[in-house]
Structure formats: structure tokens, C-alpha cells
Amino acid sequence: MPELPEVETIKNDLEPYVAGRSIINVTLLWERTLQHPAKEEFERIIKGQKISGMDRRGKYLIFNLESGYKLVMHMRMSGSLMLGHNNPPPHTRAIVHLDNDTEIYFNDPRKFGKMQLVKDCDCLLGKLGIEPLSDEFTVEAFAGLLNNRKTAIKGILLNQCLIAGIGNMYADEALFASKIHPERPANSLSKEEIKTLHKAIRDVLKLGIRNKGASVTNYFRPDGETGSAHKQFKVAHCKDKPCPVCRTPLQRIRVHQRGTYFCPNCQK
């Protein structure tokens, strides 16, 4: 699933090509990709809308339109956005046609991705928690989220209502960097462990962005190139490989219904 670094990369790569451009039309090849509004109303409103810029909130990608509307996309399990000219890839579910003959392809092999056109983003994004790369995400704020929570720390990191944007891969990487077992109760972490994990979260996300996201399965950048963040992973998707620190074989368990990779020696 595209996580914060992948969605941020898509935003950064796309914005120079779409800012200031107008949307001629949107072709829906898989109508269920559109979640809101109804197809007829969506097509009526979207035509001629000028894109003023782009934002990201958690794992959501936002096209800001000059009219005040916002075209909001969520990649879900396998989505990505790609640029092209009359050459949609095989799993394209929607095509955004721009006024310079450029097209944006919503490519989504598993068909879980969603697109919505809204006036007020709060109905979608108001439930999201703090952005982990924002100034508001301080050690104190992070400690407050963990206080009195007995949930496994991995589950806290994945809870988008608490912290927006961290997904499975980067949670595993941050916990490994902090030497914290993913099943530790959140309220059992010491002040020093909280400080260490806070720094690790920001570090692994920033590294993921610098490396243009992780192309483990279906993620591609808008130009069709892959990201390289997965090449830097220490534990994520590395079951049975030797731990880069102690050489113990890495293990995979399920935590909050998610495959979780860790070192049983370093993360006791």
C-alpha cells in the first residue's frame, strides 16, 4: 500500500505538470473508483476545473481546484498515478484529461483505490491524526498519544486517527531502528524509548521520501519509474534474511492483522 513517502513522492512529481492546467474531462473506466458524488454530477462539475496546486494529508492526495472544490484520491492497496499521452497502462481505472493533451492515469490493479470531489475536505480528512513530519508532532505530543494505551505499539503507529500516513512498512522500520518489539504495549515505553521512536519515525519517513518511495509491488512514480526506498529497508519484507545488526534471521508475525517484520534478538 502506498504510504506517506509514496503519496508525497506522487505529489512532488505531479505538481509541476498539473499546477495551472485545466481538467477537460475525467474518463471513468471503473466507475466504482468514484466514491462521491454521483457520476453525472461529478462529470458536470469537474469539466473545466483549473488545478491551483496539490497537497497531501496522511495517505490522501489532494488536487486543489481554483473553484474551491478538491479532487481527493486514495491509492489504497495498489494504486498509483502516472502521466502519459494516449497510452494508459493495463490497469487504468480513471483518466484525467488535461488541457495540454497530458493525461493522468489512475492505475489500480486491485481496484480498491477511491476518488472523491468535495467542497469541504473535513468530511474526509477531519478524522485523521497528527502529521508525523509536522512541527506539531513533538516528542511530548507523541507521548500523549501513547499514554494509558495498552494497545500494541505497532497498532498505534498504524492508527490513522492518531498519526496520519504511517503504514505497515515504515512502522516496521521505525520499530526496528528503535529496538522496540512491535507487540509491546504502547504505555510500557519509557521516556527514552518514546524519544528514540519519535526520531526513528521521522527519519524513516524522510529517507523514504528522499528515495522516492518503495516499489515493493505495484507502486510506480508518475513517470513510470520505480522508487528505491525498499532497497534501504532493514526488516520490512525481509523474512528469514539475517538481521543487519546481529545476523539473527528476521521473523514475520501478525500484529493487528498486518504482516509484521522484526528481529527477535534486537527487538525483545
Q: For residues 59 and 10, what is the distance between their CA atoms, to the nearest angstrom?
A: 11
User: Considering the entire predicted model, what is its pTM?
Assistant: 0.94
Superfamily of domain 4-125: MutM-like, N-terminal (3.20.190.10)
Q: 139-262: what fold?
A: Helicase, Ruva Protein; domain 3 (1.10.8)
| pLDDT at residue 1, rounded to an integer | 73
Nearest CA among 248, 210, 262 for reference residue 232? 210
pLDDT of residue 39: 96
Residues of the chain with pLDDT under 50: none
Q: Tell me if 57 sits within 8 A of 121, measured CB to CB.
A: yes
Domain with CATH 1.10.8.50 in the chain: 139-262
Question: What letter represents residue 202's amino acid?
Answer: R
Distance (Å, whole) CA 31 – CA 1: 21
| CATH 3.20.190.10 domain range(s) in the chain | 4-125
Determine the Cα–Cα distance for residues 60 and 53; give it in Å rounded to an integer: 14
Question: pLDDT at position 218, please?
Answer: 78
Question: So what's the pLDDT on residue 127?
Answer: 95
Distance CA 263, CA 173 (A): 11
User: Mean pLDDT score of the chain, rounded to an integer?
Assistant: 96
User: Which positions are annotated as active-site residues?
Assistant: 2-3, 59, 258
Helix, strand, coil fractions of the chain, as percent rounded to 5 = 30, 25, 45
The predicted pLDDT at position 123 comes to 86
Per-residue pLDDT, 119:
95
Joined together, the cell numbers standing for residue 228 give 528505491
